[in-house]
């Protein structure tokens, strides 16, 4: 019998089984049941056949209904097990459910004891773990040995040793990703700094790690040359998550402005997820790809925005827009910031013009006379504030008054925090506050002349890296209300 053990099933591919009212679709293809066959059985058997044809004993399946989404494992014999992560992290046991498709609903029903389910379901029992006393908070109340900008405390909520040369990453849920001294990736919750996810595989060098999705699953991603490494975030067992390396079959430039990695191979060709790796999709000639979703690629041309679907025909729809006055021809550069915003540069008479473009509505929101930003690293984006830092350009991409302001700083040494950019110059640390088109610089008091700015900033804290003899320590500095002078 084929496996149903999640540990024995590779994280990818992930098939999509959808119920849209009265039909079942497998990876966007309608499944036709045999005469007298229930839709339940037809969907499961379609998955089983596809897995078997691909030489797989079992696959992961994302089951989408009008009301909910579940993760399942289906083997090549049509047996199914629900592996949807529990909403309660203190209850790690798996729940096995049967897939039931009725005349009007598709739902997953928890089985108890020796209950019976439609199709080939599996029964299971849940075991309540005994709650243990919480472990001590590591490095609680440690004095932070680096001066910080106003608004952050000098005593750490917690502190941990980390690997040299790899900054922390603040996750979308506020948790923080770090690399340990013994080369493990770990995600820590922020209240007590406890590990909630880990992997023994780390990227080579200082290649950035980004939170994104792959085939609609949450993952961490890191690109190196001709490969994209993925770490699933939704596995039940998060104690040692295996990494999956996707061969891109060519040198690629990978960015993450959209909801999925944008894998630009050049020559108007983009790699997108496929059943056993990636497939190549062409975007309209003359356009620059700027963002990828789970089923489209967004690219910008001379005066049009194209959205290309992930299909064998790669059909595209276009939206026209009026490019900045005085510019001509196709853009010389286009950099995605978010799924609907891009920084685009055109040539003009004896100069270049850079614009903030709304790629959803086809509209230029702001312009600046200047070359394309020199992005040595991925753009920084503060979604809460609606701001971004691309090269030396501070960009307010959301709100009533979008702006592009040239700060004349190196993005490698700068950290974005709302309308503040923390950096350093020859005199020490510097806070650049942007208000409209105006930049107000101010210094803060360092403890040493070479104090760096924070390594990362979240809505409720700053993360500070400091050397302590032969260790690199990560400190969490809580955000505090600034005192005001009456």
Domain assignment of residue 67, yes or no: yes
Note the pLDDT tens digit of each residue in 419-459: 999 999 888 899 999 999 999 999 999 999 889 999 999 99
7 φ, ψ to 5°? -70, -20
User: Running DSSP on this structure, what letter comes out for residue 247?
Assistant: E
Domain assignment of residue 18, yes or no: yes
Domain assignment of residue 51, yes or no: yes
Provide the percentage of residues in the chain whose pLDDT is more than 90.
56
Beta bridge partners of 186: 178, 198
User: What is the structure's pLDDT at 80?
Assistant: 87
Which of 276, 217, 273 is CA-nearest to residue 64? 217
| pLDDT confidence band for 83 (50 / 70 / 90) | confident
What spatial distance separates the first Cα and last Cα of the chain, rounded to whole Å? 75
Distance CA 348, CA 66 (A): 50
Residue 482 tokens read as: 């600034």
Count of beta carbons in the 10 Å neighbourhood of residue 308: 26
Domain assignment of residue 239, yes or no: no
Domain assignment of residue 368, yes or no: no
User: What is the structure's pLDDT at 155?
Assistant: 97
**Cα of 420 vs its chain's centroid, Å:** 23
User: Running DSSP on this structure, what letter comes out for residue 378?
Assistant: P
Above 90 in pLDDT, residue 387?
yes
CB of 173 closer than 8 Å to CB of 189: no
Domain assignment of residue 173, yes or no: no
183 Rama class: left (phi>0) / alpha (psi -120 to 50) / beta: left
Distance CA 123, CA 94 (A): 11
Domain count, the chain: 1
| pLDDT confidence band for 127 (50 / 70 / 90) | low
* 3-class secondary-structure state, position 122: coil
Note the pLDDT tens digit of each residue in 89-119: 433 333 333 333 332 223 332 222 233 333 3
Above 70 in pLDDT, residue 330?
yes
313 Rama class: left (phi>0) / alpha (psi -120 to 50) / beta: alpha
Structural domain harbouring 69: 6-110
More confident residue, 242 or 21: 242
User: What is the structure's pLDDT at 100?
Assistant: 33
Domain assignment of residue 290, yes or no: no
CB of 58 closer than 8 Å to CB of 65: no
Above 80 in pLDDT, residue 311?
no
Residue found under tokens 């780390």: 202
User: What is the structure's pLDDT at 49?
Assistant: 87
Give me the sheet containing 176-179, strands edge to edge: 169-170, 176-179, 185-188, 195-199
User: What is the structure's pLDDT at 89?
Assistant: 45
Note the pLDDT tens digit of each residue in 166-189: 899 999 999 999 999 999 999 999
User: What is the structure's pLDDT at 410?
Assistant: 67
Above 70 in pLDDT, residue 125?
no
Peptide bond into 377 cis (omega under 30): no
Distance CA 272, CA 284 (A): 16
Longest dimension (CA), the chain: 81
- Angle subtended at Cα 270 by Cα 268 and Cα 273, rounded to the nearest 5 degrees: 165
Q: Which of 112-116, 189-193, 357-361, 404-408 has the lowest mean pLDDT?
A: 112-116
Note the pLDDT tens digit of each residue in 244-297: 999 998 999 999 999 999 999 999 999 998 877 898 999 999 999 999 988 899
User: What is the structure's pLDDT at 390?
Assistant: 94
Domain assignment of residue 26, yes or no: yes
User: What is the structure's pLDDT at 478?
Assistant: 97
């Amino acid at each position: 019998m084929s496996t149903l053990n999640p540990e024995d099933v590779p994280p990818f591919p992930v098939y999509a089984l959808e119920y849209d009212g009265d039909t079942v679709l497998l990876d966007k293809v309608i499944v036709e049941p045999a005469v007298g066959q229930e839709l339940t059985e037809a969907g499961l058997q379609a998955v089983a056949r596809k897995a078997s044809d691909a030489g797989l004993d079992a696959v992961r399946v994302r089951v989408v209904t009008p009301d909910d989404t579940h993760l399942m494992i289906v083997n090549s014999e049509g047996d199914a097990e629900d592996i949807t992560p529990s909403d309660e992290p203190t209850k790690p046991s798996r729940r096995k459910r049967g897939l039931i498709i009725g005349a009007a609903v598709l739902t997953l029903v928890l089985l108890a004891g020796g209950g019976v389910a439609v199709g080939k379901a599996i029964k299971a029992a849940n075991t309540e773990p005994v709650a243990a006393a919480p472990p001590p908070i590591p490095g609680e109340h440690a004095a932070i040995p680096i001066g910080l900008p106003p608004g952050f405390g000098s005593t750490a909520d917690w502190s941990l040793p980390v690997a040299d040369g790899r900054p922390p990453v603040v996750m979308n849920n506020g948790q923080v990703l770090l690399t340990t001294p013994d080369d493990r990736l770990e995600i820590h919750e922020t209240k007590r700094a406890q590990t909630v996810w880990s992997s023994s595989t780390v990227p080579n060098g200082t290649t950035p790690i980004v939170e994104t999705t792959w085939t609609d699953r949450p993952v961490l991603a890191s690109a190196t040359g001709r490969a994209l490494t993925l770490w699933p975030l939704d596995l039940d067992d998060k104690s040692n998550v295996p990494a999956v390396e996707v061969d891109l079959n060519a040198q690629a430039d990978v960015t993450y402005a959209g909801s999925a990695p944008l894998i630009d191979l050049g020559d108007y060709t983009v790699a997108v997820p496929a059943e056993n790796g990636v497939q190549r999709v062409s975007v309209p000639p003359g356009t620059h790809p700027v963002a990828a979703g789970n089923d489209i690629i967004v690219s910008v041309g001379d005066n049009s925005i194209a959205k290309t679907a992930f299909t064998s025909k790669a059909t595209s729809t276009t939206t026209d827009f009026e490019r900045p006055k005085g510019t001509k021809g196709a853009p010389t550069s286009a950099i995605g910031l978010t799924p609907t915003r891009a920084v685009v540069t055109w040539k003009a008479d004896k100069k270049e013009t850079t614009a903030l473009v709304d790629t959803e509505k086809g509209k230029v929101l702001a312009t600046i006379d200047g070359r394309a930003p020199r992005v040595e690293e991925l753009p920084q984006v503060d979604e809460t504030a609606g701001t971004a830092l691309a090269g030396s350009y501070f960009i307010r991409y959301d709100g009533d008054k979008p702006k592009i302001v040239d700060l004349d700083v190196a993005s490698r040494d700068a950290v974005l925090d709302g309308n503040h950019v923390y950096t350093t110059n020859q005199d020490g640390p510097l806070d650049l506050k942007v208000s409209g088109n105006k930049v107000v610089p101010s210094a803060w008091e360092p403890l040493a002349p070479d104090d760096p700015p924070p390594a990362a900033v979240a809505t409720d804290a700053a993360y500070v890296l400091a050397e302590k003899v032969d260790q690199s320590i990560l400190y969490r500095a809580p955000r505090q209300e600034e005192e005001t002078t009456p």
